[in-house]
Structures are given as structure tokens and as C-alpha cells.
Homo-oligomer: A and B are copies of this chain.
Amino acid sequence: MLRTHTCGELRIDHVGQQATISGWVQKVRDKGGMIWVDVRDRYGITQLIFEEGQTDQSVLDVAREVGREFVISATGEVVERVAKNDKILTGDVEVKVSDLKILNKSKTPPFIIDNDTDGGEDLRAKYRYLDLRRNSVRSNLEMRHNLLQQTRAYLSKNSFMEVETPYLIKSTPEGARDFVVPSRMNPNQFYALPQSPQTFKQLLMVSGFDRYFQIVKCFRDEDLRADRQPEFTQIDCEMSFVTREDILETFEGLIRYLFKEVKGVELGELPHIPYSEAMSKYGSDKPDLRFGMQFHELNDLAQGKGFVVFDSAELVVGVNAEGCADYTRKQLDELTDFVKKPQIGAKGLVYVKCNEDGTFKSSVDKFFDQDALKAWADKFDAKPGDLILILAGDANKTRKALNELRLEMGTRLGLRDKNKYAAAWVVDFPLLEWDEETERFHAMHHPFTSPNPEDLDKLGSDPGSVRANAYDMVVNGVELGGGSIRIHDREIQSQMFDALGFTKEEAQNQFGFLMSAFEYGAPPHGGIAFGFDRLCALFGGQDSIRDFIAFPKNTSGRDVMIDSPSLIDADQLKELHLGLVKPAKNS
């Protein structure tokens, strides 16, 4: 090794010893007679000292040559510092250098390599290898490493077998868009990259593997929103001979274990919330449960009083923002503007201030007297000093908008502390969603999700009312993972494909191998997948997954560091039997 110790290793006990350390120059202070150089590696920072008259002139000359981010190797005696630094673990000592080598020079980096950096997003992306030198980014990836190891430890201990499933698989039009890979050896045919190893893990259950896991890259060619990546990592699991409760218990166990081991947090038991309740109480299937502020519906109290906005609404629903009765006109206007933003889509906002003196002031005083408002306040369990916020309109849209308002109020009230964690299972999702555009049902999870056995007879007659044997784990308003008990009966799988509008031929062509496998003794089974990038960001207390991925892509799917994707050789295209089509101007 080109070192005897790392830059994070030397302590007061090492005083008097010789040490060689190697790393990057973080800082140089040259006070004429004395030079201090802070040298950094992944493990910490150590101070080097050079002294005019004591240090050899040749060594001093080298020390005066080094600059930020040079790679150096320094040998010398470990000495106690005069001025100690209790902010770093090596702060009691420094190395009195007797030999100094420059292992590699560095140009001045394009941005400051420190937790606070002056580099913008684009610059840091281009020089990602320098951005990764910053402690804040590297420590995210160290935590990711830890989460990887602990996840596998828990699952291995629980008899899960890690099995690698293939990356070059088959394209299926169902679901999101596939990335495809042309096959040279099978001209004009394509592989697809997996959106998930779903069918393979089910086949492993048919194979009797009993418990499977894999932490695996998955791929979706979607138009990227701010925090989506074309390739992402998933903790993928499947179990045989289980009921829903067995899966919830096992994976609640996993998440509790990770919180305990990696963050030292006791997560406690996860409540099970039916989808319908999540929607009516929070307007979302991934409610943020760090705070209450549940929805209350007002149709019975608020309709038929002549206020046409309410009277014409399918739903009148609100939340109680505790202690916000003193909101100013400006603040209330801000909230109104917030709900009227196109992506939220409410027509307006009704408020009721519960004054400290027991009276009420609302934006609809014209239609509702104090007694009426008192009845509302009672329903909301609102106390003097609280502020009730009400939206009205189409039920689904209004719930969705009120969910956004609830989250906004939670943020304003500081109820969404990133170091507090509230987790739950959301269960009993609808099996199918009606898609207005294509005029057919889509699988809410995927076509392999089992209907709730109680609802099985409605699959043919009233598909929209069938509940799925599916579940999502939600933490702090983020869907961390989801899964289902799967169909393991060929006949029911066939009915499901019918309900989704597959022809027999399409079903056979795309999933014939799975249908066929179900004829040879498929066990009851179910599973789950967790978004691993999202899990890392949650553990790191950040909203964006980007700094928990070593080499992320931008929102155009580009890696600007390596400049990819890129053009390929004509020879390559020829070998692949491909031609390029010039894109239309507006694409």
C-alpha cells in the first residue's frame, strides 16, 4: 500500500510513530515559516505540517508546489497538535512531514469540492467524478452500500435465495415502454430490458424456490419527470405458500430492521389502511401520516343552503389547519392561488376561521350563519384558533386537490420533519382501472395480481368493483414498495387477460410460457418490490434520488459526463440489420 494509515485513522495514541498517508489536498496554508496541508481521503482528513528550518528544503519545495486536489503521499512523525481541532477525529494530531511525493497533479477543479459547493447542477453532472468527492454525496452512497448489505442480510437470514434473472428478455406492450436491444444473431428481432423481473420470479416460485430476492436494475423508457431515472434499482422479492398477512409481516420486518440497523430508528407497527379509507381521509393512496389533518366531508351540512358552488358539487370536503385562524388575507390568497394552479386544478378555496372568541369568520358568510359554521367546526373537531379549508367539485379531482393542499399546509406548519418517519400499509386496491382513452380496463398493479377471493365472482360481471389482493408500503407520503398475492391458477389468469381485453392469441404470444407453467403445479405465491433509490433518499432525508445514485442521467435520459447516448458506426448498424429513420421536425 502507498500508505500505512488512512487520512481518518491517526489519533493521539499514534504520537511518536512514523506514518505514511496518501490522499487529496483539501487546503494549503502557507504562513511563510510554516506550511499546513490538509490531506483528504474517503476516511477523513489529516493535517500535515512543514516548518522552515526543521523540514528539509527539498521537501518544503515540494510542499510549495502542491495545490487543491493534488494527490500526494506524505511520510513523517505523528505529533500532537498545539491547536487541536475537535471537529474531526484526527484533530488531536498532525504529521510532521519528512518526505513528500506528488503522485498526481490536478488542474484547479471547476467548482469547490466541499459540502457547500459553488458548482451548479450542470457543471457537477459533467464532472460527476469530482462531485462524488464531496463528503455529502459520498456519504449518501456509503449509506446505500450499508442498505444493500443489510437488506441482503435480513432476507438471507429469512431463507430468501438471491437469484439473478436475465436482463435480455422479451418485449411486451403491456405496461410502460420497454427499452429494446436489437439481436445481431437473430436478425430483425429484439430483446427488451426488464421493467421488473416479475414473470421470472413467478416462474421461480413454480420451480419451488420458495423464497426469492434480488436487488436488481430495472428499465423504463418513459418521459422522465424531474425525479425519474430510465434505469433504477429495485429490491425484488417473492414467496410461496403465503397469505397476504405473511408477506406484510415479513417485509414490515425488513423495513423495521433497516430503520433500526441503518438509522437507529424504531419504526413500530405499520397500520393497515384500506385504499378506500386512504382516499376518503387523505385523498391519496400514499398519505403522509406524519401528521393528521384528515379530510372531513361536508355534503350533508353544506349543501342545499343556496351556495351554488357547493350545491352543484359532487363533494364538499375540507381539512382543519390547527392554529391557523390568524392567517392574513395575503396568506389566504396564497393558498387560493396554490389550489388554483393548473396542476392542482381547484376552482377556489373556502375558509372558515375559528376565532378565539368562539365566533366564526368565513369566505361564505353570506350563505352560512354562525350556527351552520359551528356545526362544520364540530365535524372538523376544530377549536378556537383553527382554520378550516374547504374545496368542492368532482369527487376524485377535489380529493386530489385537497391532498395537495393538506401536504402544503403540513409543510407550512412544519409537520413534515424529514427525521420523523410514519409508515403504513395501504391495502385493498381496486384490481382494475377504467381508462377513458382506450375504453378498456387496465391493471392497477399488473395483470398477475390476484383478485380478492371474495370478489372473484365479479371479475366477469362487474370488473370495476373487484378488489385486488395487493398492498403498498407508504412512508412519509412516498410509495416505497408494493406488491400482491399473484394469480397461480391458469383459468383465473386467463379470465384476467380477458378482463384486460387481451385476445387469446395476444395472451398466449406474450405470456404463454407463464400460462403453461401454471399447468405444472404452481404454488400459491405473492411478492413485493421496493424502489431502492427512493428508499435511500428517504433514509438520507432528501426528496431527490439523484444524489443517491453514483452516475445518474438527466431528464433527457443523457449521461452528460460520458456524453451518452451517442451515434454509432454505420458498420454496427449494418451488422444489426438496422436503418435509421430521420425524426420528424416536431419530435
Which residues of B are found within 8 Å of A188, using beta-carbon distances?
567, 580, 582-583
Q: How far is the CB of A216 from chain B (nearest CB, A)?
A: 9
Q: Out of B41, B145, B513, name the residue touching A563 (CB < 8 Å).
A: B513
Asked whether any CB of chain B lies closer than 8 Å to the CB of A133, the reply is yes
Q: How far is the CB of A248 from chain B (nearest CB, A)?
A: 13
A233 and B164 form a contact (CB under 8 A): yes
Which residues of B are found within 8 Å of A568, using beta-carbon distances?
171, 180, 190, 192
B170 and A167 form a contact (CB under 8 A): no
A494 to B217, CA, bound (A): 34
Q: Out of B186, B187, B489, name the residue touching A558 (CB < 8 Å).
A: B186
- The verdict on A69 contacting B1 (CB below 8 Å), with A168-B231, A185-B556, A551-B166 known, is no
Q: Out of B168, B488, B565, name the residue touching A104 (CB < 8 Å).
A: B488
B566 and A170 form a contact (CB under 8 A): yes
B149 and A156 form a contact (CB under 8 A): yes
A517 to B193, CA, bound (A): 30
Asked whether any CB of chain B lies closer than 8 Å to the CB of A3, the reply is yes
Q: How far is the CB of A218 from chain B (nearest CB, A)?
A: 10
Stretch from A77-85, A206-214, A314-322, A377-385 at the B interface: A206-214
Which residues of B are found within 8 Å of A164, using beta-carbon distances?
217, 233, 549-550
Asked whether any CB of chain B lies closer than 8 Å to the CB of A328, the reply is no
A149 to B170, CA, bound (A): 29
A204 and B132 form a contact (CB under 8 A): yes
A–B complex contacts, Cβ < 8 Å, 15 sampled: A42-B210, A106-B521, A138-B208, A142-B161, A166-B559, A167-B217, A171-B572, A180-B572, A181-B181, A183-B557, A183-B565, A185-B224, A188-B567, A188-B582, A190-B567
Residues of A within 8 A of B (CB): 1-3, 6, 22-24, 40-43, 69-71, 73, 103-107, 109, 127-130, 132-133, 138, 141-142, 144-145, 148-149, 152, 156, 161-171, 173, 177-193, 199-200, 203-204, 206-210, 217, 219, 221, 223-224, 230-231, 233, 241-243, 246, 488-489, 512-513, 517-524, 549-551, 553, 556-559, 561-569, 572, 574-583, 587
Taking A164-B233, A168-B553 as given, write out 20 further A-B residue pairs in contact, using a Cβ cutoff of 8 Å, ordered by the A residue number: A1-B246, A2-B524, A24-B521, A40-B208, A43-B210, A69-B520, A73-B241, A104-B489, A107-B519, A107-B520, A128-B203, A129-B206, A168-B231, A168-B557, A170-B562, A182-B182, A183-B565, A185-B224, A190-B566, A512-B563
